[in-house]
Structures are given as structure tokens and as C-alpha cells.
Amino acid sequence: MAEGKLLTINMGPHHPATHGVLRLVLELDGETIVKVTPHIGHLHRGIEKIAESMNYQQVIPLTDRLDYTAATLCNMGYCTAVEKLLGIEIPKRAQYIRVIMGELARIMGHHLWIGSHALDIGAMTVVFYTFRDREMIMNMTEEVSGYRLTPSYLRVGGVAKDITPNFIKFLREFIKWFPTAVDGYNTLLTDNIIWRKRTMGIGKISAEDAINYGLTGPSLRGSGVAYDIRKAMPYSGYEDFDFKVPVGDNGDVYDRYLVRMEEFTQSLNIIEQALENLPEGPVNVDNPLITNPDLTDVQEDISALIRRFKIQAQGPQVPEGEIYHSVEGSKGELGFYLVGDGTENPYRMKVRSPCFILVSALEKMMKGHMLADAISVIGSIDIVLGEIDR
């Protein structure tokens, strides 16, 4: 290593390859990275503090703003956590609809990841194809919930409304089309010699280190640890589906890429199974303290009107207790620690954000590599600053 002065450079917060407002202070020896100091908090909105003054249903739109690339998965994490605290089980149909929407959101999150990751490294074509397909999912989300990016479609105790025949039609078309699209992404990147040279052997982290640094999700699975919460601690009916958990061997950027690419196929596989086996029935739990009565009932029945008013104004009453519940977000283990105190507001809500921990391990993965490789490492862990800063 050359004897000389270290050069300190500032990367971000306004840098397109940091995927948001992440600021890295890099110390360089020539072009080699010696030290990395991430600075976060530019997007801190105090979601945990705000949640303490809201009722349990009102928190749902806040969770959309955590990982806004796969918002439904954040809804899923929150709603299943509240249901665990309440101790209720929602109907099978609602669970399956949640799985379909959640897996669509996961595909959407991975679309944004592969598009921008490839764009950062210099492969410009991919982003156009992924955004074309992302648009299809956005249209489907709009059809069922009315919103595109932050749908807030899930509710405590079920989902906002049942899916429509139009949605099923779109979804069937998408299922038919999507394998071709994934083949297309693979053709562009997987055997591309430039892509391989930019990603293989970069940002290596061993399985033991990855666990010790708290990596979860595809970033941990790239190192060969098959920790997928959908399999490890099934929630929302995931135990009914047959799917594989892809793992890598080397724990480098390329393996993390391969894991996520395989997750496209596996997610589609889950969606297909959920759609084929979608049971009939209600989409909300039959619990008068949690679920709104129908609008038709409200017009005819005074007690239903009172009940609807009470639920809208107060939300569900949650018993005293503390739980931790986590789901497999598109970036890793998305957990909620909820403290209920018997009132309609959460006493404390802590979000276990996967990206927050992933960024803290950046130095481990980047040290000793070239400055240009910092970009591929950031891309490979797939961070969203909305979730890091909360």
C-alpha cells in the first residue's frame, strides 16, 4: 500500500447512486477505501413518535412511508403485529389476498432494486424493462386499492376491500407474462461479462460475519444462511405454500444479485398458488370491536351506525402487553415491537428496519475495495432511506 496522505471525500447526500439521502464519508488511499462513515437521519420523520399519538388503524399509512418501494409488505408487518397483540386470526381469504399483494410488492421492490443497481454500475437498459413491468403491478395495485405507490390496502383484521374480477384478469395476464420478463433481465445481466466483472468477488461477507453484523433478507441469504421468515416463522398463511428459499455461496455482490433474481420466480410461484387456491369468504375478521359494519347495514341499523362511528373514531382497543413480530420485507427482517397499554394508541412502536442494520455493515463490505465498487456494494444491499431514517 502506498505511503501517502489519505483523501477524504463526501459521497451524498445528493448522490444518485446512494438511493436516497445517504451520506458516506469515505477515506481513500489512492483509489482504495480505507474507512467508511455513513451518516443517516436526513429523512427522519419521527414515525415512531407520531404513532404514539394515533390509533392503531391510523398508523397504517405511516408504515407505507417506511419502505415505499414495497409498501404493502410494511403494512403486512404492522397489521400482523397488531393482530398478534390482539390475539386474533384473520380469515383465510384475507390472508391469501395479503400474500398476493405482498408478493407483488416484493416483486415491485426488486424491480426498483435491479433497475437502479444496474443503472448505477452502467447497464442502462435494464431499468426501462423493469419499470415497464413495475407499471403493470402499479396498475393492479391501483385497481384493487385506489393508490399506486403507497396503497395502505391492509387493515388491522383484514384488508380494505375484496379484490375485483378485473384485478384477477390483470393478475392472470401478469403471471403469464412475467417469466418471459425475468428471462429478459437474466439475458441482459447474468452472463454479461462486464456485469460479472463488476460484481463477482466484490463486497464479500462470510456467513458468520453476516449474522454477527445482523444482516437479514437476501443480503444474508447471499452468504448462504437460509433465514427467511416466511419459512422460519410462518405468518399470514405462508405455511400453505410451496416455495424455495434461494441461497448463495460466496456472499458477494453477484450472489446477492442471483438470490434476488431467483426471488422473482419464487414470488410469482407463491402468487400463482395463492390465486389458484384462493378460498371464498369474508376478507375481514368477524369481530365487532375491530371490523367496520357494512355501509348498507349502517343505513338501516342504528347500532351499526354507532359501532362504525366508534371504530372510525377510536380504532381497535388493544390489550396490555408487549410483542415482537417480524415479517420478511423485500430487504430483510422487518419487525415491529409493539407495547400496548389497554388504550387505543400504541404506547410504543419500534420498527426493526432491515436497511438500518445493512447500512451499519457497509464498512465491513467496502473496506479494501475501489471507490467505484462502493457503488455496487450499496446497490447490492438494496437500501431505502425511508426505512433507515423512519
Options 41-49, 121-129, 283-291, 299-307: segment touching another protein (CB under 8 A):
41-49
Question: How many CB atoms within 10 Å of residue 376?
Answer: 25
Structure-block grid coordinates of residue 230: 416466511
- Nearer to another protein by C-beta: 151 or 386? 386
Nearer of residues 34 and 370 to another protein, judged by Cβ: 34
Residue 341 CB, shortest distance to another protein, in Å, is 9
Which span sits near another protein by CB under 8 A: 138-146, 160-168, 330-338, 378-386? Answer: 330-338
State which residue, 184 or 321, has the beta carbon closest to another protein.
321
Beta carbons of 228 and 328 less than 8 angstroms apart: yes
Cβ 275 to another protein shortest distance, Å: 28
211 binds another protein (CB under 8 A): yes
Give helix 125-145 / helix 165-189 axis angle, nearest 10°: 170
Q: Under the criterion CB under 8 A, does residue 172 sit at the interface with another protein? A: no
**Contact pattern for another protein over residues 82 through 121, marking x by CB under 8 A:** --xx-x----------------------------------
Q: Give counts: helices (H), strands (E), the chain.
A: 17, 8
Closer CB to another protein, 245 or 305, in the complex: 245
Q: What share of the chain is helix, strand, coil (3-state, %, to 5)?
A: 50, 15, 35
Angle at the Cα of 133 from the Cα atoms of 129 and 137, rounded to 5 degrees: 160
Does 13 sit behind a cis peptide bond, omega within 30 degrees of 0 on the bond before it?
Answer: yes
Cα–Cα nearest to 348, from 52, 7, 22, 33 = 52
Q: Pick from 113, 227, 238, 243: which binds another protein (CB under 8 A)? A: 227
Task: Tell me the three cell numbers of residue 123.
Answer: 447497464
Work out how close the CB of 134 gets to another protein at its nearest, in angstroms, rounded to a whole number.
30
Q: Which stretch in 58-66, 148-156, 244-252, 320-328 sits in contact with another protein by CB under 8 A?
A: 320-328
Q: How many CB atoms lie within 10 A of CB 296?
A: 9
Closest CB to another protein among 46 and 122? Answer: 46
Asked whether position 44 contacts another protein by CB under 8 A, the answer is: yes
| Whole-angstrom distance, CA of residue 123 vs CA of residue 70 | 23
Residue nearer to another protein on the CB measure, 197 or 367 = 367
**Does 361 sit near another protein (CB under 8 A)?**
yes
Q: How far apart are CA 158 and CA 296, in angstroms?
A: 19
Buried b (16+ CB within 10 A) or exposed e, 91-104: bbbbbbbbbbbbbb
List, in sequence order, every beta strand (DSSP E) within 43-173: 154-155, 158-159
The binder of another protein chosen from 21, 24, 36, 40 (CB under 8 A): 40
The cell 464479500 sits on which residue? 204
196 lies in the site for another protein, by CB under 8 A: no
Give whichever of 121 and 351 is closer to another protein, judged by the CB atom: 351
Q: In terms of CB distance, is 84 or 148 closer to another protein?
A: 84
Q: Is 48 in the site for another protein (CB under 8 A)?
A: yes
Residues 6+ apart with CB under 8 A from 295: none
Chain mean position to CA 325: 15
Size of the site for another protein (CB under 8 A): 42
Q: Which residues bind another protein (CB under 8 A)?
A: 40-41, 44, 46, 48-50, 52-53, 84-85, 87, 211-214, 216, 225, 227, 232-233, 321-324, 326, 333, 335, 337, 339, 347-348, 350, 352, 356-357, 359-361, 364, 389-390
